[in-house]
Amino acid sequence: MDMIDPFGRAITYLRVSVTDRCDFRCVYCMAEDMAFLPRKDLLSLEELDRLCTVFIEKGVRKLRLTGGEPLVRKNIMHLVRELSRHLRSGALEELTLTTNGSQLWRFAGELADAGVRRINVSLDTLDPEKFHAITRWGHLDKVMAGIDAAQQAGLGIKINAVALRGFNDMELPDILRWAHGRGMDMTVIETMPMGEIDADRTDQYLPLSVLRAQLERRFTLTDIPFRTGGPARYVEVAETGGRLGFITPMTHNFCESCNRVRLTCTGTLYMCLGQEDAADLRAPLRASEGNELLSAAIDEAIGRKPKGHDFIIDRRTNRPSVSRHMSVTGG
């Protein structure tokens, strides 16, 4: 039974933020003194499992766990192991997660054992001092140890880097060579106007069309039809033999092929990352032992998924396009 939105798009990809908490405070994502959600508002691991299972029964084939940082959620591996039954049954094609890598040294082996085949690691710089500056709390050596552990466990890794003018734009060619040299794909992402942060995003914003032109002075980039189910458009880099993805929510939205919805750790379903339109699934989840109310609430929400988003980095008001922080919806 597939979920089809008003524009004929099948919704086959669910991203689930399992926590809004994180052990980093990346400057483009969070304020340093973030106020986190009260724990009572959070869905339990059992509730998250139940919700995900209903989505899988309704046609979701790819499930990505995000955060905050998913691996700081207490007992998160219990949820991963529970969800892996859908991989074994064939109902789910892929179970994956996006992580900052800080806890991978602890969990890489368990993730691989649970049927996770690949993960995304967010990493914006290979300079330890710059890394600590942009994450405020993070340590690069710990992330590198995590990447080592993940590769030893056989996990495929894609490096996600946010392109930030004046911070890492000059370094991105080196990060690309490093990632491809270790057999990892890489994706660059435009910074998005979400949530009040301490920095001025208009200074950080780097259109990826500009970045691509810069990269093409050093590399031969060929567009390829490769897809992983998300919004990245890929090129092959002749000099490294690896793949590079571009995610461009600002300069070129990719809404026409959108196949995904996002669930927060409080049970709010966002039909679009760039819109405030949402549906509360926690109430129907908790109102009944059965899943009929929940299923109906999901159908109602998918029935009003918007055609697309209109991100603008606004130079006049300097207000974010979307008031919630990225850490709430999960990237």
Do the annotations mark residue 64 as ligand-binding? yes
Do the annotations mark residue 262 as ligand-binding? yes
What lies within 8 Å, CB to CB, of 20 at 6+ separation is 36, 37, 67, 68, 264, 265, 325, 327, 328
Read off the tokens for 47.
């509730």
Do the annotations mark residue 26 as ligand-binding? yes
Do the annotations mark residue 194 as ligand-binding? no
Do the annotations mark residue 286 as ligand-binding? no
Which of 306, 184, 170, 307 lies closest to 244 in space, CA to CA?
Answer: 184
Do the annotations mark residue 15 as ligand-binding? yes
Report the Cα 135 to chain-centroid distance in Å.
Answer: 17
Helix (H, G, I), strand (E, B) or coil at 158: strand
Do the annotations mark residue 106 as ligand-binding? no
CA 187/CA 191 separation, integer angstroms: 13
Q: Torsion over CA of 135, 140, 142 and 144, rounded to 10 degrees?
A: 130
Q: Could you tell me where the beta strands, DSSP code E, fall in the chain?
A: 13-17, 62-66, 94-99, 118-122, 156-163, 185-190, 221-224, 233-237, 242-247, 260-263, 268-270, 278-280
Read off the tokens for 51.
């919700």
Do the annotations mark residue 317 as ligand-binding? no
Do the annotations mark residue 60 as ligand-binding? no
Determine the Cα angle at 54 with ends 48 and 55, to 5°.
Answer: 90
Do the annotations mark residue 209 as ligand-binding? no
Do the annotations mark residue 98 as ligand-binding? yes
Do the annotations mark residue 261 as ligand-binding? yes
Do the annotations mark residue 52 as ligand-binding? no
Place of tokens 């967010």: 122
Do the annotations mark residue 130 as ligand-binding? no
Do the annotations mark residue 21 as ligand-binding? no
Can you say which residues are annotated as belonging to the binding site? 15, 22, 26, 28-29, 64, 68, 98, 122, 158, 192, 255, 258, 260-262, 272
Can you say which residues are annotated as belonging to the binding site for [4Fe-4S] cluster? 22, 26, 29, 255, 258, 272
Can you say which residues are annotated as belonging to the binding site for GTP? 15, 64, 98, 158, 260-262
Can you say which residues are annotated as belonging to the binding site for S-adenosyl-L-methionine? 28, 68, 122, 192
